[in-house]
Amino acid sequence: MTKIAFIGLGVMGFPMAGHLAAAGHDVTVYNRTSAKADDWVEQHGGAMAASPREAAAGAEIVFTCVGNDDDLRSVTLGQDGAFAGLAEGTLFVDHTTVSAHIARELAEKLEEQGCRGIDAPVSGGQAGAENGKLAIMCGGSDTAMDRARPVMDAYAARIVHVGGPGAGQTTKMVNQICIAGVLSGLSEAVRFAQAADVDLAKVREAISGGAAQSWQMDNRWDTMAAGEFDFGFAIDWMRKDLGLALDEARRNGSSLPNAALVDQYYAEVQAMGGNRQDTSAMIRRLRKGGDKD
């Protein structure tokens, strides 16, 4: 049993912390909206704290899963931040998707306090968190990974140690760039097939066993064709993630023309009211087969 603090009980953090409790760990939670922390304790036991600092006090491992760079700073730094409550030797694991810059910044602060950190963004969405089948991409030291891996196993299907601080966040950016490109092509393919008036189910059956196959095709082809987008990873979140990738590209000198274009496609869908719809709603910006200009 490990004494754990888990900070951030959103759609991902709530079930992830639950898996840790189910695995037998002693979990104390903190959430900005205390009602969620109350609900979590009612369902899973453990305890809730009044501040990130209070949650981190006495913990062997502190996990965070919040919204963005600013959220992460607010729960880690300052008088009431988690870092103010860390004892020497505490391990800090951040599951938020944030910039590689802040991951490296926090790693340096942790080293100054005699602690270690891992940036560990996840992929798999809400369903992956609830089912304990997340893919976790990690940046940090070998020593930190050796401590964190058996604990993260409670909600992971795959854990890969990519490199040093920031490497996990950079890998998540690669992940989102790939997804954006696949959805762009898939959106055009579905609309093209609809315009050609062919049997979409038969088309998917024919091509999904070859090089065109993807997770998005297997799980979103039918719902995209039907105009169903009330699930999965929201466009608002994808635009945040693509923004992180585009910012990092400016820092490392790489070029992301397709990611930049897809980001603008998503801005169009946001303007149509699709902010919280699944990323497959990209198809909404393309007229349906048979529609006229």
Q: Which residues are catalytic?
A: 172
Cα–Cα–Cα angle for 250, 253, 257, nearest 5°? 70
Separation between Cα atoms, residue 58 and residue 99, nearest integer Å: 28
Dist CA 180 CA 198 (whole Å): 26
Distance CA 4, CA 113 (A): 18
For 119-166, give the DSSP string: E--EESHHHHHHHT-EEEEEES-HHHHHHHHHHHGGGEEEEEEEESTT
Q: Which residues of 262-274 are buried (b: 16+ CB within 10 A; e: fewer)?
A: bbebbeebbeeeb
List 262's β-bridge partners, or say none: none
